[in-house]
Amino acid sequence: MSCFQEPSLYTIKAISILDNDGNRVFGKYYDDAFPSLKEQKDFEKNLFDKTHKANGDIIMLDGFTIVYRSNVDLFFYVMGGANENEIMLNSVLNCLYDSISNVLRKNVEKRQLFENFDAVMLVVDEICDGGVVLEADSSQIAHRVSVRQDDIPLGEQTVAQVLQQAKEQIKWSLLK
Amino acid sequence: MKMLGSFRKDKKDEESGSGIPSVVEKAQILQEARTFNETPINPRKCVQILTKILYMINQGETLSAREATEAFFAMTKLFQSKDNNLRRMVYLCIKEMASIAEDVIIVTSSLTKDMTGKEDSYRGPAIRALCKITDHSMLQSIERYMKQAIVDKLPSVASAALLSSLHLSKHSPEVVKRWVNEVQEAANTDNIMVQYHALGVLYYIKKNDVLAVNKLVSKLKSNLKSPYAHCFLIRVACKVLEEEGGGRESPMFAFVEQSLRHKSEMVIYEAAHAIVNMKFITAAELAPAVSVLQLFCSSPKPVLRFAAVKTLNRVAISHPAAVTACNLDLENLITDSNRSIATLAITTLLKTGNEGSVDRLMKQITGFMNEISDEFKIVVVSAVNSLCHKFPRKHAALLSFLSNMLREEGGFEYKRAIVETVITIIEENVEARDTGLSHLCEFIEDCEHTSLATRILHLLGREGPKTATPAKFIRFIYNRIILEHPAVRSAAVTSLAKFGGTSDELLPNILIILQRAMLDADDEVRDRATFYYHVLCQRQKALNSAYILNGLNVSIIGLEKALHQYTLVRAKLALVTADGDPSVTMQLTVRSTDQIVSEIIATAAG
């Protein structure tokens, strides 16, 4: 049967976020399997076609194992090689989703994501670096990627923003 | 805080969903980068612009070296700001541009300052950015900082340094190898990610020395805090086993085996997966691994079920008996909502099923086949194929299943796979021949794929005469001559001729049919019919063998000569046929066939 593959820390081939039309919101490819943009986009289209209706959190496609999750109008994908530990891939996916959810204050949908795109990019950067899992615990990620709202001086925020912030704070303190 | 809100609006106006900003947009964004030169720096605005640049690149927009370098240089001004978010975005941009812009090493001193500075949240990301821009020549100058960072108390710093070491080893392996002591120290940490990264680097440094790797595993296996490190170490242990040619007495094997009882699912699975792939493993040793996988099969988490059934599928190839214990769990998975899981379950069952379960399995699969895509259907058919080899006595049930599938909807590749499987059964199993051929006859009555129809007709011609009652096939084939298009009709003619060539009692009927075919609208059909008719009329076994039952053997050179002669005497022959002399007509017919063959060869040669 198969001889054992060379052990490697490079376990993540790609991380991708698509919208509900299958268009790329964010995509990072760590492997040379899809060198050109066109190949990446073709793959994403194929992947989207097979997953946006299907039940299930895992699929094999073109020699990759892909775990995925969706919410409202976003689809999150983490891809590894065919022989990768699927449970490890899933833990990375959960970290990705939970961290982004933290950043977007539980409002995981496209508009919110675009409005906090910088934080989302930092999250992905803290989870995976060049294909190696850097961190898989979402509370650690939250700590490292804190977009501190109080950085904005009060004068620059609109009244609406201040009220919104106050509302959020009250909501979270009630939930504790 | 609207990062890309306004940006997205502009984008939507001018493109139709491709997501790539036009050249005008790119120029606009890069123009905005000039804002970086303004003082005082407005962090919010700068973060917005940096985000737009990164988004643009992510969507596939390419920057020229000049554009990237200009933007990069403007960005360096931003180090003057103390804004946390801005600094982090600058690091991201540096990493993204590192491969496109030129002279990126100018930020080396800024990054080195950040890496060793007081702001903890900068240190890790600064290290990672620094290593992206550092090449072999510069590496010596930061070596001191890297070694310090690897053993730093802060996990984010240590991880960043270790990861970067791994990336750097691609172009500077000898330098990284000098840091082995620091990496070794880092491997003893309690932090689960740092241990994982340190182990990765350690293995990389030592991998060419099997003894050193062996020692590495022995030392670390009792000190593993990290499930990620544990999984990695299992893989290393397997590699050692393979290279040393070790077996069950090796401590490497013991380590993997006991990992089956770890508390983390990830580790348990890695161990089970490793054990089933070991070449020397016996069925008894497989049992604990298989029972773990069996448990996963009934997990509520789809990922676990998938991982388990995929691994069991592999086991079924080499040790089908070991998987039999899981058959009940696998049968439950046939109705799993995830189609990949269901397909894997079925193909595993097909490999491990015994003769008694074949009928039941076929029934279960039939219901399931309608819901899966062609890709998966082909996987199932090839599993059925191997079942045919294993249980030749079950050919009746298998053939009926396959012919049902042939009647259903499906693409060409799928139908072809089924036809090939049926043909395999027919060829290997004399008892199945009759039924198999009948099923195929039914199929060609309504087959839209010419290549499949001609293949089947060819097979019928070869195998049909050998059956007990060849006559029943003749009607099917005859219908093809009447109903189908030329390619199929010609194949049918050839097929019929073979029946005529082998059976004396069928010959008169065949001759009548061939005579009718000689009046066909298509050249090829007419030529073949005429040829076969005349050969068969001679009633000589030798002629039949040479021209009908076996393939035509023509020498290319002889062919060319004959063709040449034919073109020369064409006019003469035309006069003669008007005369009606049968012997000359025979010569003419033979030459026509030669011509047909040579035309085919010529077309094939391009």
A88 touches chain B (CB under 8 A): yes
The reported pLDDT for the residue numbered B552 is: 65
Segment B138-144 long-range contacts (CB within 8 Å, at least 24 positions apart) = B138/B105, B138/B108, B139/B168, B139/B172, B139/B175, B140/B175, B141/B108, B142/B108, B142/B112, B143/B175, B143/B178, B143/B179
* Angle at which helices A86-103 and B265-276 cross, to 10°: 150
pTM of the model: 0.75
The per-residue pLDDT of chain B, averaged, comes to: 84
- Are the CB atoms for A25 and A121 separated by under 8 Å? no
The reported pLDDT for the residue numbered B399 is: 87
Give per-residue pLDDT as tens, A45-78: 989 988 888 655 898 888 889 999 988 889 999 9
Give per-residue pLDDT as tens, B49-80: 999 999 999 988 888 888 889 889 889 999 98
Dihedral sign, Cα of residue B570, residue B574, residue B580, residue B585: positive
- Are the CB atoms for B497 and B548 separated by under 8 Å? yes
Instruction: Please tell me which of the candidates A1, A9, A87 has its beta carbon nearest to residue B307.
Output: A87
- Give the C-alpha separation, A33 to A54, whole Å: 25
Is the pLDDT score of B191 beyond 90? yes
The larger pLDDT score, comparing residue B474 to residue B163, is at B163
Maximum mean pLDDT: which of B170-174, B263-267, B428-432: B263-267
- Rounded (5°) CA angle A11-A14-A18: 145
B588 touches chain A (CB under 8 A): no
Beta bridge partner(s), residue A12: A80
The reported pLDDT for the residue numbered A96 is: 95
- Other beta carbons within 10 angstroms of residue B472's beta carbon come to 14
Cα of B319 to nearest chain A Cα, Å = 11
| Nearest C-alpha in B relative to A39 | B60
Give per-residue pLDDT as tens, A140-155: 998 888 755 444 455 5
How would you class B480 by CB atoms within 10 Å of its CB: exposed for 0-12, middle for 13-18, buried for 19 or more? Answer: buried
DSSP secondary structure letter of residue B153: S
Report the pLDDT averaged over residues B294-304: 94
Cα of A85 to nearest chain B Cα, Å = 7
- Give the C-alpha separation, B418 to B123, whole Å: 61
DSSP-assigned letters across all residues of B400-424 = HHHHHHHHS---HHHHHHHHHHHHH
The reported pLDDT for the residue numbered A165 is: 62
| Nearest C-alpha in B relative to A144 | B121
| Residue of A85, A133, A146 to mutate when probing chain B, most B C-beta within 10 A | A85
| Residue of B225, B301, B340, B351 to mutate when probing chain A, most A C-beta within 10 A | B340
- Give the C-alpha separation, B68 to B79, whole Å: 18
| Residue A75 host element (H or E) | strand A74-81
CA contacts within 13 A on the Cβ side of B599: 7
Instruction: Please tell me which of the candidates A21, A27, A41 has its beta carbon nearest to residue B58.
Output: A27
Cα of B412 to nearest chain A Cα, Å = 20
Structure tokens at B41: 């720096």
B242 touches chain A (CB under 8 A): yes
> Closest by alpha carbon to B362, among B329, B320, B395?
B395
> Closest by alpha carbon to B462, among B487, B437, B480?
B437
B343 touches chain A (CB under 8 A): no
Report the pLDDT averaged over residues B264-270: 95
CA contacts within 13 A on the Cβ side of B51: 27
> Closest by alpha carbon to A89, among A70, A117, A69, A73?
A69
In total, the C-beta contacts within 8 angstroms joining chain A to chain B are 153
Is the pLDDT score of A167 beyond 50? yes
The reported pLDDT for the residue numbered B472 is: 84
- For A104-135, b/e burial (b = at least 16 CB within 10 A) is beeebebebbbbbbbbbbbbbbbbbbbbbbbb
Report the pLDDT averaged over residues B248-258: 90
Give per-residue pLDDT as tens, B468-504: 888 888 888 888 777 778 888 888 888 888 888 888 8
Dihedral sign, Cα of residue B552, residue B558, residue B559, residue B562: negative
- Give the C-alpha separation, A163 to B2, whole Å: 17
The reported pLDDT for the residue numbered A173 is: 60
How would residue B138 be classed by pLDDT, with cut points 50, 70 and 90? confident
CA contacts within 13 A on the Cβ side of B110: 19
With beta carbons under 8 A apart, name residues in chain B contacting A60. Answer: 340
The reported pLDDT for the residue numbered B103 is: 86
Is the pLDDT score of B431 beyond 70? yes
A30 touches chain B (CB under 8 A): no
* Angle at which helices B433-444 and B471-483 cross, to 10°: 20
Is the pLDDT score of A3 beyond 80? no
Q: How much is the ipTM here?
A: 0.84
- Are the CB atoms for B342 and B336 separated by under 8 Å? yes
CA contacts within 13 A on the Cβ side of B135: 8
How would residue B594 be classed by pLDDT, with cut points 50, 70 and 90? low
Give per-residue pLDDT as tens, B597-606: 566 556 545 4
| Nearest C-alpha in B relative to A151 | B83
